[in-house]
Protein backbone atom coordinates (compact mmCIF):
# COMPACT_ATOMS: atom_id res chain seq x y z
CA UNK A 1 0.00 0.00 0.00
CA UNK A 2 1.21 3.49 -0.82
CA UNK A 3 2.25 5.04 2.50
CA UNK A 4 0.58 8.28 1.42
CA UNK A 5 -2.86 6.65 1.61
CA UNK A 6 -2.20 4.46 4.65
CA UNK A 7 -4.57 5.84 7.26
CA UNK A 8 -3.73 6.27 10.92
CA UNK A 9 -6.68 4.49 12.49
CA UNK A 10 -8.30 5.53 15.78
CA UNK A 11 -7.37 3.51 18.89
CA UNK A 12 -4.39 1.91 17.12
CA UNK A 13 -0.67 2.02 17.88
CA UNK A 14 1.89 3.23 15.34
CA UNK A 15 5.62 3.66 15.00
CA UNK A 16 6.09 7.10 13.44
CA UNK A 17 9.60 7.84 12.28
CA UNK A 18 11.59 9.78 9.71
CA UNK A 19 15.10 10.97 8.87
CA UNK A 20 16.79 13.93 7.26
CA UNK A 21 17.12 14.06 3.47
CA UNK A 22 20.05 11.80 2.52
CA UNK A 23 20.60 11.25 6.23
CA UNK A 24 21.39 14.92 6.85
CA UNK A 25 21.43 16.39 10.35
CA UNK A 26 18.06 17.67 11.57
CA UNK A 27 19.12 18.78 15.06
CA UNK A 28 22.16 21.05 15.38
CA UNK A 29 21.73 22.30 18.93
CA UNK A 30 19.61 22.21 22.08
CA UNK A 31 17.21 24.86 20.78
CA UNK A 32 16.42 22.66 17.77
CA UNK A 33 15.51 19.69 19.96
CA UNK A 34 13.37 21.80 22.28
CA UNK A 35 11.53 23.55 19.45
CA UNK A 36 10.87 20.20 17.75
CA UNK A 37 9.23 18.88 20.93
CA UNK A 38 7.31 22.13 21.38
CA UNK A 39 5.84 21.86 17.88
CA UNK A 40 5.09 18.19 18.43
CA UNK A 41 3.12 19.13 21.55
CA UNK A 42 1.23 21.79 19.61
CA UNK A 43 0.26 19.75 16.56
CA UNK A 44 0.29 16.08 17.55
CA UNK A 45 -0.32 15.54 21.26
CA UNK A 46 -4.00 16.62 21.03
CA UNK A 47 -4.56 13.65 18.70
CA UNK A 48 -2.22 10.98 20.05
CA UNK A 49 -0.98 9.39 23.26
CA UNK A 50 2.82 9.12 23.49
CA UNK A 51 4.30 5.80 24.63
CA UNK A 52 7.94 6.44 23.70
CA UNK A 53 10.19 8.69 21.66
CA UNK A 54 13.81 9.30 20.80
CA UNK A 55 15.33 12.19 18.86
CA UNK A 56 18.64 11.44 17.17
CA UNK A 57 20.85 13.94 15.29
CA UNK A 58 19.52 12.86 11.88
CA UNK A 59 16.25 11.05 12.61
CA UNK A 60 13.44 10.58 15.12
CA UNK A 61 11.12 7.88 16.48
CA UNK A 62 7.72 8.10 18.16
CA UNK A 63 5.54 5.29 19.48
CA UNK A 64 1.99 6.64 19.47
CA UNK A 65 -1.55 5.52 20.07
CA UNK A 66 -4.12 7.42 18.02
CA UNK A 67 -6.99 8.75 20.10
CA UNK A 68 -10.56 7.52 19.68
CA UNK A 69 -12.71 8.41 16.70
CA UNK A 70 -14.87 10.59 18.95
CA UNK A 71 -11.85 12.54 20.25
CA UNK A 72 -10.52 13.03 16.71
CA UNK A 73 -13.89 14.29 15.56
CA UNK A 74 -14.13 16.79 18.44
CA UNK A 75 -10.64 18.09 17.62
CA UNK A 76 -11.43 18.38 13.90
CA UNK A 77 -14.62 20.30 14.55
CA UNK A 78 -13.52 22.50 17.46
CA UNK A 79 -9.83 23.15 16.81
CA UNK A 80 -9.57 22.88 13.04
CA UNK A 81 -13.09 24.23 12.44
CA UNK A 82 -13.76 21.46 9.94
CA UNK A 83 -17.30 20.63 8.96
CA UNK A 84 -18.75 17.61 7.20
CA UNK A 85 -15.94 15.31 8.33
CA UNK A 86 -16.47 11.92 6.71
CA UNK A 87 -15.55 8.31 7.39
CA UNK A 88 -13.89 7.80 3.99
CA UNK A 89 -12.13 9.86 1.32
CA UNK A 90 -9.91 12.94 1.43
CA UNK A 91 -11.74 14.43 4.40
CA UNK A 92 -11.88 11.21 6.43
CA UNK A 93 -11.30 11.66 10.14
CA UNK A 94 -8.26 9.32 9.94
CA UNK A 95 -6.53 11.77 7.61
CA UNK A 96 -6.66 14.52 10.22
CA UNK A 97 -3.84 12.86 12.19
CA UNK A 98 -1.59 12.48 9.14
CA UNK A 99 -2.20 16.10 8.20
CA UNK A 100 -1.35 17.31 11.70
CA UNK A 101 1.88 15.32 11.73
CA UNK A 102 2.75 16.75 8.33
CA UNK A 103 2.03 20.28 9.61
CA UNK A 104 4.25 19.60 12.61
CA UNK A 105 7.14 18.43 10.41
CA UNK A 106 6.67 21.36 8.04
CA UNK A 107 6.63 23.92 10.86
CA UNK A 108 9.85 22.52 12.30
CA UNK A 109 11.54 22.33 8.90
CA UNK A 110 10.71 25.95 8.10
CA UNK A 111 12.08 27.11 11.43
CA UNK A 112 15.24 25.00 11.06
CA UNK A 113 15.87 26.29 7.54
CA UNK A 114 15.45 29.88 8.67
CA UNK A 115 17.77 29.44 11.64
CA UNK A 116 20.47 27.66 9.64
CA UNK A 117 20.23 29.59 6.36
CA UNK A 118 19.25 26.59 4.25
CA UNK A 119 16.53 25.92 1.69
CA UNK A 120 14.49 22.95 0.53
CA UNK A 121 13.15 19.84 2.22
CA UNK A 122 14.75 18.86 5.52
CA UNK A 123 13.04 15.51 6.13
CA UNK A 124 12.01 12.72 3.80
CA UNK A 125 8.42 12.80 2.60
CA UNK A 126 6.05 11.27 3.40
CA UNK A 127 6.89 10.49 7.01
CA UNK A 128 7.19 6.77 7.78
CA UNK A 129 4.57 4.85 9.71
CA UNK A 130 4.11 1.23 10.80
CA UNK A 131 1.06 -0.14 12.54
CA UNK A 132 1.75 -2.10 15.73
CA UNK A 133 -0.31 -5.29 15.79
CA UNK A 134 0.60 -6.93 19.08
CA UNK A 135 1.57 -6.13 22.65
CA UNK A 136 4.85 -8.02 22.21
CA UNK A 137 5.72 -5.88 19.19
CA UNK A 138 4.82 -2.77 21.18
CA UNK A 139 7.13 -3.73 24.07
CA UNK A 140 10.00 -4.61 21.72
CA UNK A 141 9.54 -1.34 19.83
CA UNK A 142 9.69 0.70 23.04
CA UNK A 143 12.95 -1.09 23.91
CA UNK A 144 14.31 -0.45 20.41
CA UNK A 145 13.43 3.26 20.47
CA UNK A 146 15.01 3.78 23.88
CA UNK A 147 18.16 1.87 22.85
CA UNK A 148 18.79 4.14 19.84
CA UNK A 149 21.44 6.35 21.53
CA UNK A 150 23.78 3.34 21.79
CA UNK A 151 24.40 3.87 18.06
CA UNK A 152 26.09 7.13 19.09
CA UNK A 153 28.09 5.31 21.76
CA UNK A 154 26.00 7.12 24.36
CA UNK A 155 24.41 5.64 27.46
CA UNK A 156 20.68 5.45 26.65
CA UNK A 157 19.92 5.78 30.38
CA UNK A 158 21.40 9.29 30.37
CA UNK A 159 20.30 10.46 26.92
CA UNK A 160 18.43 13.77 27.13
CA UNK A 161 16.22 13.49 24.07
CA UNK A 162 14.46 10.22 24.80
CA UNK A 163 11.47 9.23 26.91
CA UNK A 164 13.45 6.67 28.95
CA UNK A 165 14.56 9.06 31.71
CA UNK A 166 11.07 10.54 32.01
CA UNK A 167 9.63 7.05 32.48
CA UNK A 168 11.68 6.70 35.68
CA UNK A 169 10.72 10.13 36.99
CA UNK A 170 7.75 11.33 39.00
CA UNK A 171 7.70 14.67 37.20
CA UNK A 172 4.67 15.74 35.20
CA UNK A 173 4.78 14.43 31.64
CA UNK A 174 2.72 14.01 28.49
CA UNK A 175 3.95 10.42 28.24
CA UNK A 176 1.62 7.54 29.08
CA UNK A 177 4.04 6.56 31.83
CA UNK A 178 1.71 4.32 33.82
CA UNK A 179 0.51 2.45 30.73
CA UNK A 180 4.06 1.87 29.50
CA UNK A 181 5.28 0.54 32.86
CA UNK A 182 2.26 -1.78 33.01
CA UNK A 183 3.27 -3.25 29.64
CA UNK A 184 6.40 -4.50 31.42
CA UNK A 185 4.44 -5.53 34.54
CA UNK A 186 6.28 -3.12 36.86
CA UNK A 187 9.09 -0.57 36.98
CA UNK A 188 11.75 -3.10 38.02
CA UNK A 189 11.02 -5.25 35.00
CA UNK A 190 10.88 -2.19 32.75
CA UNK A 191 14.43 -1.34 33.82
CA UNK A 192 15.59 -4.97 33.61
CA UNK A 193 14.28 -5.37 30.05
CA UNK A 194 16.04 -2.20 28.95
CA UNK A 195 19.31 -3.33 30.49
CA UNK A 196 18.93 -6.81 29.00
CA UNK A 197 17.12 -6.26 25.67
CA UNK A 198 18.11 -9.65 24.24
CA UNK A 199 16.97 -11.71 27.25
CA UNK A 200 13.67 -13.50 26.80
CA UNK A 201 11.19 -12.69 29.55
CA UNK A 202 7.81 -14.23 30.34
CA UNK A 203 5.05 -11.65 30.62
Average pLDDT score over residue span 14-29: 97
Strands 13-19 and 128-132: antiparallel
In a domain, 180, yes or no: yes
Asked, for residue 200, whether it belongs to a domain, the answer is no
Lowest mean pLDDT among 3-12, 37-46, 99-108: 3-12
Confidence at 142, pLDDT banded by 50, 70, 90: very high
The range of the structural domain enclosing residue 78 comes to 9-195
Asked if residue 92 is part of any domain, the answer here is yes
At 61-118, the pLDDT tens digits run 999 999 999 999 888 888 776 666 655 555 567 688 999 999 999 999 999 999 999 9
The distance of Cα 162 from the centroid of its chain, to the nearest Å, equals: 11
Model pTM above 0.85? yes
What distance in Å separates the CA atoms of residue 50 and residue 62, rounded to the nearest whole number? Answer: 7
| Residue 186 falls inside a structural domain | yes
pLDDT digits (tens, 9 = 90+) for 148-198: 999 999 999 999 999 999 999 999 999 999 999 999 999 999 999 999 977
Angle, helix 135-147 to helix 187-195, in steps of 10 degrees: 60
Q: Is residue 203 part of a domain?
A: no
Asked if residue 150 belongs to a domain, the reply is yes
Q: Does residue 5 surpass a pLDDT of 80?
A: no
Terminal-residue alpha carbon distance, the chain: 33
**Total of domains in the chain:** 1
Does the residue 40 lie in any domain?
A: yes
- Domain of 98: which CATH number? 3.30.70.1290
Instruction: Please indicate, yes or no, if residue 4 is contained in any of the structural domains.
Output: no
Amino acid sequence: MDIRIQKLEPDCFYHIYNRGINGCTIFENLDNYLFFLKQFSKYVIPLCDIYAYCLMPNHFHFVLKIKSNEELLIFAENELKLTNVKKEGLHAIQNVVSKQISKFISSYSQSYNSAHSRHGALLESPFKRKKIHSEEYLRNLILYVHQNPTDLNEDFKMYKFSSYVAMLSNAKTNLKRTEVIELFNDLDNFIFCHNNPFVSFEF
